Structure 1
Amino acid sequence: MATIGDRVEDADGFRGTVRYVGSIQSKGDQVYWGTSVPPRCGGDCQRLGIEWDDSSRGKHGGAANGVQYFVTRAPTAGTFVAPEKVSRGRGLLPALHERYMQAEASDVRVAGEVATAGGSSKSIQLVGVHKIQEKQHIGVICKVSLEGCQVATLPTPAELAAVAPNIQELDLGFNLLASWAEVLSLATALPKLEQLVLSGNRLQYDATADAGAFPLVTRLVLNQTATSWTDLLRICVHFPALRELHVAANDLADADLIEGVWPETLELVDVSHNSIGDWAAVQRALGGLPALRHLVATHNALGAIAPSAAGSFASLESLALGDNRIASWASMDALNSFPALTLLRFAKNPLVAGLGAGEARMMVVARCGRLLAFNGSEIRAKERTDAEQMYLKRIIHEVASFKDDADKHKVLASHPRYIDLLAKYPDIQKPATTTGGPAALARSLVAVTFVPMSSQAATMEPMAKKLPLNMTVGQLKTLVGKKYGLEPAALQLSFRATAKEMPVPLDDDSGDVGYYGLQDGAEILVNDVW
């Protein structure tokens, strides 16, 4: 019979934890059965109160007819089921023999996924069983995956060491394990273990239990384990050589991220798919790791990034921030305070959601001076030069549009790289006004070529023209509409410095063309809105 704390799995593959064992009385002396009422069975019917890992599998929070039999983390994660409706799993050794001593149909199988430093997923493939059998005995297998095999109990260290002492990579993800003490007891049986995957289990940590350590394990994957941050700190003590820690989808929030002592060897931490909203909490918990080079924080609720405190994230080279709520360019500017940061992933944030891909990339490259790659694509030297010059021209043009010094200082304060870029590109001057004579007027004009892309104007020839930098995009649309016989409201204009570059949308009718950094030789592409 199952006991409280046991892990179980139903016929549909849903896993849960037993929170109650006993009878559940309802009106008419009938036993409550989740969504239905079974036949009358008196008070002796035994039921298991299950808290499901996936709350959509449940129906309630552990109560029936006003009686609270157990409490669940989510309000609909609980049900009552008959013991025969769920499996309590099996031992590791039977699962190991079944998978690696019996022929399977496939030569190659996917063992699981972990996040990379860039925030994407990487599949782990293992050679199929019958190919292994042709060459080696189970005792010399180095990579073992028992993912989803309903493993609930582990053998003694002596039993495992006698069967498979050479395991270096072990995947026990999405099984029915319930005890960290049991896992840690295998340390002596697996002296060569380097990677351990326990995702999808619900492991309880007992700090008072005798436990071993895995001195060679460098990668620990604990995704979807509901492990608390406090327990993570305790668990990592048993992995002194740890370099990668994956704790995605663990319901972690800001308050959970307390400061603590981690293995100083940690190079990658994955906290993606959680509910972290305050960057200060991330910095407090992980900023002091001396060897941390990669941080994956995608799919969270981060609203802003603050400048790195002195000594914080000193070695951080790559940062994945996709699918957050960052909406301010100040957050992008703050990344310049991370002394080693060169790789950034930033897709699906409000800040870039309304921009074209080319415009967003140009702005990020220009504002983050150390980046070598953005969203997985290398930033080449010419791209950086073009982006920084265009950005600098926009700043200069924006400053020149204000007469009041206070307004100008406010603009410059929002562009921290302005002074550095001005020193880097001294030839870029402030736009001249028409009051300075012919030379000043010439400097206020930019020579461009209009390239018809519209279906209505595609047969027309390109047109070269000089434009004043203070012309608005709306005025430019009127000019183009007259030239090509098109309705200005139906035009969609974009420009590119060279034919090889991504076009940048001219999407603000009230903005001056000078703001966009137009330069001599640029092409303005004329398209239809519809």
Structure 2
Amino acid sequence: MLHPRSTPFDDITSRASQPLPLPVFSSCWYLVVTLDVTEFRPDENTHFQVCANKMEDVLSSEVFGRRIICDGEYGTVCYVGTIPPTSGLWLGIEWDNPLRGKHNGSHEGRRYFTCSQLNTLSDISLRGYEVSNAGQKEEILHSCPNISVLNLSKNLLASWENVADIACQLKKLNTLDLSENRFYLPSHPSLLANAFENLTTLSLNQTGITWKEVLQCAAMWPVLEELHLASNGIASMERPVNCLQCLTLLNISDNKLTDEKQLYALSELPRLKQLIITNNRISSVEFPVTQFGCSTELFSSLTSLSVDGNNVSLWSFINELNKLKSLQSLNCQNNPLMESEKNPGTVRQLIIAKIANLKYLNKTEILPEERRGAELDYRKMFGIDWLKAGGSHKSEFNNLCVMFLVEHPRYTALVKKYGAPDDEEIKSLQPVNLKNKLLCLTIKCPDKPDQQPIKKNLPDSMSVQKLKGLLFRLLKVPGSELKLTYESSKMEGKEIELENDLKPLQFYSIENGDCVLVRW
């Protein structure tokens, strides 16, 4: 097997240096732990006597199946009894760690219990086991040939040749974690490719590797699909040429990327679907296109982008992402942009409205109703700017200035989808006085036909919780028992639930003339 400090595999563990007390007995009994069996012996200072048969019965019922820990290793008691020709009672332990012990539950041809077999294991972690090389020739091949997932992080590996010696014995290996090791570059990477011919996932986090070194080594990984390079201090990137062409996921989080041009180096990877660049220093991005509203051919397969924890502060960043024709999922929390509006819900609505094909934002699904509401609000919110920039209700008179198109590249598409904002919608946005912020709402109780509808002028900043307080005074029903929904004239026959008591009415895009439905 894999050798820590080049010692034989069977010597990874050693005899316990301290006796381990048995939980169900007094201190007059103790364990002496060998590599895979444990003998009970009476303490020399005790006067407690018991016949062997009775002791075996007691131990069998009390100890069998118990969990133990010795030298930090966990195990399960699978046998209690004698082991001829030795004297005394012994415990047979199946260790959680498959590398602990020499035997498999049998002794001198007799089986006492059954252990898991190394040759059946497919997923092994040797993190922090001081592994430095493959050990004896073909020992891994004969001992555990079915390993497909192997964690060798935080070990003493320094040579890619040594890693290849391990990998070449594991024909089914597809996932390998080498994080927190330090490697020098191989002389001829392509000569090691056969060892990694089936490797699809590789983790090199905290290895100090540069992007240039990654490209130099890439010939070793001909079918690699996922590559994790977090926390390596990577500050510059260049285009992969004739390598990494099968890559579908790239994680370069917690590095030092600042220049948007560094990302262009990745833009022509034909199969790249998921890009994780969280906790870098990216602030802007730009994808050149021939005209406004068009998609770019860069990142043609990218469906998921994570830019959490960067320096994104301008809406132009979000505008550019709309050019990525396959983008469906965006994570962008912990950026200055997310704090640009007093109401976080407003930021979310604006992002949804600006990126046409987005289906998930910050790991939350965007439902059709939410998209429709966000796009209608966006169309209304910037209606005045649209008119001032040359927009017209008659398409033949539209002559929008370039500045407006740069700031709102999707606005024209939204006008085609929903029509131009009418005068009433635009007037409702003008913040002349408090009256402009009041909503004229009709409150109905559909399950109480005797209850007459109530008309109220309410501020759009009123929270759902305060609305319930008002309804308590009007209807004499505790707010905790009330369930509120509303109907909009723009979505006839559709009720939208006001499920969050802390959100203001404006969060749900409630408008003048809408109807609040109250049930209890």
Matched, 1:314 2:307: no
Deviation, structure 1 residue 402:
7.4
Q: Which amino acid aligns with 2:214?
A: L
Distance 1:161 1:398, change over 3 A: same
Give yes or no for contact 1:185–1:212 (8 Å, CA) kept in 2: no
Match of 1:187 among 144, 147, 167: 167
Distance 1:311 1:173, change over 3 A: same
Match of 1:169 among 149, 154, 175: 149
SS at match of 1:184: helix
Q: Which amino acid aligns with 2:97?
A: V
Q: Which whole-Å deviations, capped at 9, do the CAs of 1:194-245 have from their partners, x for residues lacking one?
A: 1110000011112247534311111000000011212211222112121110
Give yes or no for contact 2:441–2:512 (8 Å, CA) kept in 1: no
Residue number in structure 2 paired with 1:207 = 187
SS at match of 1:161: helix
Q: Which amino acid aligns with 2:149?
A: E
Match of 2:383 among 384, 396, 415: 396
Matched, 1:448 2:462: no
Give yes or no for contact 1:145–1:172 (8 Å, CA) kept in 2: yes
Match of 2:369 among 365, 371, 382: 382
Match of 1:247 among 218, 229, 233: 229
Give yes or no for contact 2:176–2:202 (8 Å, CA) kept in 1: yes
SS at match of 2:456: strand
Match of 1:300 among 265, 268, 280: 280
Give yes or no for contact 2:224–2:247 (8 Å, CA) kept in 1: yes
RMSD over aligned Cα atoms: 4.1
Give yes or no for contact 1:166–1:190 (8 Å, CA) kept in 2: yes
Mapped partners of 1:501, 1:411: distance in 2: 36
SS at match of 2:386: helix
1:24-103 matched pairs, under 5 angstroms: 90-91=5-6, 94=9, 98=13
Match of 2:258 among 277, 291, 316: 277
Q: Note the residue ranges of structure 2 that are not aligned, 5 or more in a row.
A: 15-34, 37-67, 77-94, 105-113, 290-295, 392-397, 428-435, 444-453, 462-485, 489-495
Distance 1:234 1:402, change over 3 A: closer
Residue number in structure 2 paired with 1:464 = 456
% same residue = 26
Distance 1:316 1:203, change over 3 A: same
SS at match of 2:351: helix
Higher-Rg structure is 2
Distance 1:155 1:421, change over 3 A: same
Q: Which amino acid aligns with 2:6?
A: G
Deviation, structure 1 residue 303:
0.6
Matched, 1:520 2:504: no
Deviation, structure 1 residue 336:
1.2
Distance 1:157 1:216, change over 3 A: farther
Residue number in structure 2 paired with 1:424 = 417
Comparing 199-208 and 317-326, the one that deviates more = 199-208
Q: Note the residue ranges of structure 1 that are not aligned, 5 or more in a row.
A: 1-87, 109-126, 435-443, 452-461, 474-495, 507-512, 525-530
Residue number in structure 2 paired with 1:438 = none
TM-score normalised by L of structure 2:
0.61
Distance 1:190 1:97, change over 3 A: farther
Deviation, structure 1 residue 167:
1.5
Deviation, structure 1 residue 466:
8.8
Q: Which whole-Å deviations, capped at 9, do the CAs of 1:117-142 have from their partners, x for residues lacking one?
A: xxxxxxxxxx9337996443223321
Q: Which amino acid aligns with 2:299?
A: F
Mapped partners of 1:160, 1:335: distance in 2: 48
Q: Which amino acid aligns with 1:500?
A: L
Matched, 1:144 2:144: no
Residue number in structure 1 paired with 2:20 = none
SS at match of 2:138: helix
Give yes or no for contact 2:200–2:224 (8 Å, CA) kept in 1: yes
Deviation, structure 1 residue 432:
7.8
Distance 1:308 1:340, change over 3 A: farther
Give yes or no for contact 1:181–1:205 (8 Å, CA) kept in 2: no
Give yes or no for contact 2:201–2:226 (8 Å, CA) kept in 1: yes
Q: Which amino acid aligns with 1:424?
A: K
Deviation, structure 1 residue 189:
1.2
